[in-house]
Structure 1
Amino acid sequence: MITFASPDEYRESLGDLDHWWPHARAVLRRHGLTPTGEPRAAQGGSYPTILVGDLVVKLYGHAGAWRRAHTAELHAYEVLAGDAELAAPRLLASGEWEGWPYLVITRVPGTTWADAAMTPAELTSAAADLGAHIARLHALDPGPHIERFAGRPPLDFEAAHTRSAMPKRLVEQAAAFVADVAPDDPVFGNGDLFEGNILVAGGRVTGLIDWGDALVIDRHNELAKIHLSTFRCDTTLLRAFLNGANWPVADDFARRAMAMSLVRQAVGVAQHGGGFDNFHLIPRMFPVDDIATLDELAEAVFGL
């Protein structure tokens, strides 16, 4: 069994290749997979992940809601198999090793959006291409195993948003604001497409990774990470994305996008704990002290 004496010991182990490579190598041997090249440990994730050649081994345990994350990611890859053109890893094997569930997936090429030095033209091209991939993603049949948002208990918006950068007066409006939007437009979505989970090359999207937060939820949920984090609220990129996705932009688009960003914050805190904050960039980019209502903030952030 793989065990740790404390959460701190586990966190310190995540980037330790010497610790995790023997386990990953044993998993690959079990499935007759022969890696090429030197292995390395992925940095910054919640679960130990080893990349070697064109293979990735990801193990789940110890941290947070690891059982839910493993189940979500496993079933997400089953759904993604329905579109061979979608830029996402493919599931090669799954199982359990020394008490830890694991997945073996293909490694997608490219550099993370965060690390890619893209020109303005490449950024716009990548945003449009991301939209095209999201359109394909949202068209997939999620099947019976992907968690449905509607099946969750009621969300505690105030508790979730007091842990965010949102001013208190806006936090107090969140529950009523979300309740007042139109009914959901549910699709299969990734839900965590921030700049570290989108890989690009030459102004094109080459990979969408990390499917542990996959849900069937309103399509606007995707914008919480894509626009607030990846695009850094750049409406030029948002327009390119929406055009690429052939997104159904209604008159209430800004309100729906803000509502689902509030929902994503509450879901994220439930999934990951108090360190999750969708809105960390908002006070740096908008005059929040002068914004009295969430309707005003929605128009400022998502207005087209």
Structure 2
Amino acid sequence: MRSPTQRNLDFSTIEALLSKAFAVDVRSAAELSGGGFAAVWRAGLADGREVVVKVGPPPGAGLLRYERGLIAAEAAYFRIVRAGAPGVPVPEVLHLGDDWIVTTLLPGESLTGRPEGAGPADDAAVREQLGAAIAGLHRITGPHFGYTGDRPAGADWPAAYGAIIAALLADAADWAVPLPPGIGALATRHHAALATATRPALLHFDLWDGNVLAAGDRLTGLVDGERFLWGDPLLDLVSPALFRRIEDEPEHPFLRGYTAATGLVLDDTARIRLALCRVHLYVLMLAEGPSRGIPVGGDRHDRLTGLLAAELRDLK
């Protein structure tokens, strides 16, 4: 199913964009699958370069409050990473247009689309490298907590977390998405735990397997950085173990790589912070469903609601 936020493009549209940006002929172009927000195409230029073109949602598409300006945010993320952690493989921004971006094409395949022959040992090695890479990104400190621009942010992490959750609750109300009670009080109730995140670290926040590229047992790319924000580093430990609790999997390869690089100790306060991070992600995923054409009340909604309710229950 195609999301309403994804534009329907064709070869001639991609050709026109790239010709305007680089004054070079386009040899080939094909849409890439896997994402659910923007339209993403791979293109071959006549000068031999292979590039990726990402185009933001069409005018009038329904978006969540934090999703304003995500294409420009992605360009900012890649530039920050390349400047501050040059060993982490992210694309180079070649051109930023009006809600569209062109980047270099990185080698490898996503962990969701690995070819036959890439076994569990290879995947584990890549995930461990990813953990170490994300630890490196977390050493980059931002100017504030939360999102950039006029999106939810705060002077500290409790304030930013509260603003982010409040915006998502407003989004859910706009789309008539039912949520369990008590979510809006979490930032106040768990202020002390949230406040232990004292430095706004650079966060990717979308580290599911589709955004991690690999070749064999080697990490070759980290893509889709448009949802980046500054905040609690533990937020980036949620999506690598999507729908699970990574703190209950001490041998998870991502956690192993991250812990080796940071010395992270998952004490009781860290576990509270991780639970709050999962609440953030689950509320976001529930709120975004209708904007992606996913009806309320389906299997996805029910599963996420169950996971969210379990986190809220345990946080009590």
Q: TM-score, normalised by structure 1?
A: 0.72
Q: Which runs of 5+ in 1 are unaligned?
A: 1-7, 297-304
Tell me the residue number matched to 1:46.
37
Give 2:14's aligned amino acid: A
Residue 246 of structure 1 is aligned with which of 262, 266, 273? 262
- Equivalents in 2 of 1:174, 1:11: separation in Å? 27
SS in 1 for 2:102: strand
CA apart distance, 1:213: 0.7
Asked if 1:21 is matched to 2:11, the reply is: yes
Tell me the residue number matched to 1:91.
93
Residue 110 of structure 1 is aligned with which of 96, 108, 111? 108
- Equivalents in 2 of 1:283, 1:61: separation in Å? 30
CA apart distance, 1:295: 4.4
Asked if 1:219 is matched to 2:215, the reply is: no
Asked if 1:255 is matched to 2:256, the reply is: no
- Equivalents in 1 of 2:75, 2:304: separation in Å? 31
For each residue in 1:92-141, what CA deviation from the matched residue of structure 2 results, as whole angstroms up to 9, or x when unmatched? Answer: 11123xxxx21111111111111226433223212210011101211224
Tell me the residue number matched to 1:121.
121
- Equivalents in 2 of 1:204, 1:231: separation in Å? 25
CA apart distance, 1:42: 1.5
Residue pair 1:35, 1:55 contacting (<8 A) in 2 also: no
Asked if 1:203 is matched to 2:217, the reply is: yes
After superposition, the Cα gap between the structure-2 partners of 1:201 and 1:64, relative to the gap in structure 1 and judged at 3 Å, is: farther
Residue pair 1:224, 1:278 contacting (<8 A) in 2 also: no
After superposition, the Cα gap between the structure-2 partners of 1:47 and 1:258, relative to the gap in structure 1 and judged at 3 Å, is: same
Q: Which runs of 5+ in 2 are unaligned?
A: 45-49, 155-159, 295-299
SS in 1 for 2:201: strand
Residue pair 2:132, 2:260 contacting (<8 A) in 1 also: yes
CA apart distance, 1:48: 1.7
Alignment map for 1:1-304 (pairs within 5 Å): 14=8, 19-32=9-22, 34=24, 38-43=28-33, 44-53=35-44, 54-62=50-58, 63-65=61-63, 67-82=68-83, 83-96=85-98, 101-116=99-114, 118-142=118-142, 146=148, 150-151=153-154, 153=163, 155-156=165-166, 171-172=180-181, 174-178=183-187, 179-180=189-190, 181-183=193-195, 184-185=197-198, 186-228=200-242, 235=249, 236-237=251-252, 238-251=254-267, 252-268=269-285, 280=303, 293-295=313-315
After superposition, the Cα gap between the structure-2 partners of 1:278 and 1:85, relative to the gap in structure 1 and judged at 3 Å, is: farther
After superposition, the CA RMSD in angstroms is 4.0
Residue pair 1:227, 1:234 contacting (<8 A) in 2 also: no
Residue pair 1:194, 1:225 contacting (<8 A) in 2 also: yes
After superposition, the Cα gap between the structure-2 partners of 1:123 and 1:234, relative to the gap in structure 1 and judged at 3 Å, is: farther
- Equivalents in 1 of 2:7, 2:207: separation in Å? 25
- Equivalents in 2 of 1:194, 1:242: separation in Å? 16
Give 2:226's aligned amino acid: G
Give 1:243's aligned amino acid: T
CA apart distance, 1:172: 3.9
Residue pair 1:111, 1:201 contacting (<8 A) in 2 also: yes
Give 2:77's aligned amino acid: A
CA apart distance, 1:40: 1.0
SS in 1 for 2:153: helix
- Equivalents in 2 of 1:254, 1:261: separation in Å? 11
Q: TM-score, normalised by structure 2?
A: 0.70
